[in-house]
Chains A and B, each alone.
Chain A
Amino acid sequence: MMSMLTDTRLPSTTIDTAQSVAPAPGLSDLLKNLFLRPSTMFALAIVVVFVIVAILAPWLAPYDPLSQSVLKINKPPSWENWLGTDQFGRDVLSRMIHGSRNSLLFGLISPVLAAMFGTILGVTAGYFGGVLDRVISRVVDLLLAFPELLLAIMIAAVLGGAFWNIVAVITVAFVPGFARVARASTLAVKQEPFVEAAIAVGVRTPVIIFRHIIPNISAPIVVLMTLWVASAIRLEASLSFLGIGTRPPNPSWGNIIRSGLDNLFGSPWPIIAAGFAITCVVLSFNLMGDAVRDVLDPDNAK
């Protein structure tokens, strides 16, 4: 990054005109559109509540999510336990509140990491071309042939479910999508006159990539990132449900449903509550992702 700041061979005015060729939509446009639709506002409200609950979990949860009680097994919802208790007498609401932290963490970390690695791979392939491009594209195409869930199950099957393993699994499942978009956008931007001009006057490659390519391909990457927050939350829930994500007794919405399934005759409430939470949050992130896409990527909006 230092090299691009100290590079003085190209007059700064040239760079400014170059960047004004394809101005990225500003934050105010984004917010304006977000506030336009009631459904998006509703979604935003749910997401905000969800984030606050996740952050304040230890203070909001009425009970310790891990504390068991033989006296309170499989209780239906009551004033004492709003969502009832599970087969170990643990408070379901407290487990749900603590479980939201896992969903939020994985939902945010994985798409960001995947965007980073995917952009590096895609820009490398698109900018340098040649053998490097063919190798990267081949592997990316191969991975894209697999549904993300199946890919995640396959990798998790091999790695096992520690925290960073799950992050890695979800990230790897998303990287190919980012790499393909980054590669295609890089190929398009590379043809632009301002990039050709930069190459012609001898701007160094890292400067071209960081100053000209990446800012101009960031819009579709950001769109993909917001769209995949929902997928990441779903994926973590699925993996935890299958027993290859967050490990019990630590709560996660996915494994609350799994342990509820083992206790079907005891109480259906853990399943109903945790699944409802996943559905609402995923739905909200989907709606917000759609709104962000409509602003940043109007061509693709349906």
Chain B
Amino acid sequence: MGKYLAVRLADSIPTVWLVLTLVFIAMRILPGDPAIAALGDMALPEQLAEFREKMGLNVSLWQQYLNFLGGVLVFDFGKSYMNGAAVVDLIARNLPYTIELTLVATLMGFTAGVPLGVLAATKRDRLPDTGVRVFSLIGYAIPDFYLGALLLIVFALNLGWFPINGAGEGFVDRMYHIFLPALTLAFVKAAFIGRLTRTSLLEVLGKDYIRTARAKGAREPRVIYRHGLRNALLPLSTGMGLSLLATLSGSVAIELVFNRPGIGRLLISAITERDYGVIQGGVVVFALLVVAINLLMDLLYIVIDPRIRVQ
């Protein structure tokens, strides 16, 4: 276990390096001078020089690259081009909201999706199965930001049951604010998880040991949950990694719809303001989150299925 963990961790180092290098290259092939982009055409040469000095743009490209990599190592993601605020502070302030939304949505999505999948698999080709199929078709097609906007219009604006923006203070208020955004993301996720659970469970239920379990007289719920679902969990954990990533990317638009703070909104407003300092930092953080989630999922596999450790 320890060895496998070490190998996986070591393996993610070149990945992170490659990601950072790609981000750096992408930010540097931008047309135009970042100093002029930040200060405008009318800026005086002295102002431009001062800006370059402050943002570390006055040294050679290699030096900038090394500074960038070194900065990320110590969690220094540069400064905002607009107001000079440290990007790491902006991220630290916004990241908890995004993580909170992603986790609550994932929890809700699984709570709804797994039972739906079990229902569809056990009532195969009957009405519940068709219902789940239609639900997942819609879930695959409807854009999350549209669903979010609809929920916002109906439940927040017209019925007034939920707040229309913000994130709230204190646990209860925060959960109250997070409900609609999380529900939006959970709907899409439940469609995905439901379909995955159905496929995976149906495959497991065709196995010999299920026939054995039934033959020895185990009651149907025990067959489904104890023998079936437990073994159907492994492909489901792959799906969990995918759906965590999908929710993370979906949260960008959802934060915008519900006017919630978060790292997605930070990135989008940085794009609108052409604040390349924050864009670079935001992109790096998203990239690191993706690598971290993938790593975590790999570790989860070993916990769920010990056979993988041997390979």
- Chain A contacts to B: CB under 8 angstroms: 138-139, 142, 145-147, 149-150, 153-159, 230, 234, 237-238, 241-244, 257, 260-261, 264-265, 268, 271-272, 274-275, 278-280, 282-283, 286-287, 302
Contact = CB atoms under 8 A, between A and B. Distances in A.
Contacts of A271: 146, 149-150, 153
B250 interface: yes
Contacts of A243: 268, 271-272
B189 to A, nearest CB: 13
Contact of A283 (B15, B141, B253, B290): B141
A274 B143 CA distance: 11
Interface in B13-49: 14-15, 18-19, 23, 26-27, 30
Given A234-B143, A264-B157, A302-B199, 9 more contacts: A139-B18, A153-B249, A153-B267, A243-B268, A257-B145, A257-B149, A271-B150, A279-B141, A279-B143
Interface stretch (B50-58, B89-97, B278-286): B278-286
A150 B153 contact: no
B210 interface: no
B88 interface: no
Nearest to A244: B271
Contacts of A153: 249, 252, 267, 286
B279 A157 contact: yes
B146 A147 contact: no
Contacts, number: 120
Contacts of B141: 230, 279-280, 282-283, 286
Q: Which of A156, A230, A257 has the most CB of B within 10 A?
A: A257
A278 B271 contact: no
Nearest to B198: A302
Nearest to A271: B149
B146 A275 contact: yes
A280 B252 CA distance: 23
B137 A257 contact: no
8 contacts: A146-B287, A147-B245, A147-B246, A149-B252, A150-B249, A154-B286, A244-B271, A268-B153
Given A237-B143, A244-B271, A158 B279 contact: yes
A145 B290 contact: yes
A150 B146 contact: no
Interface string B150-188: 101100010000001000000000000000000000000
B133 to A, nearest CB: 10
B69 interface: no
A265 B250 CA distance: 25
Given A275-B143, A279-B138, A157 B153 contact: no
Contacts of B279: 157-158
Contacts of B250: 149
A271 B282 CA distance: 29
B32 to A, nearest CB: 11
B157 to A, nearest CB: 6
Contacts of B138: 279, 283
Interface string B285-311: 011001100100000000000000000
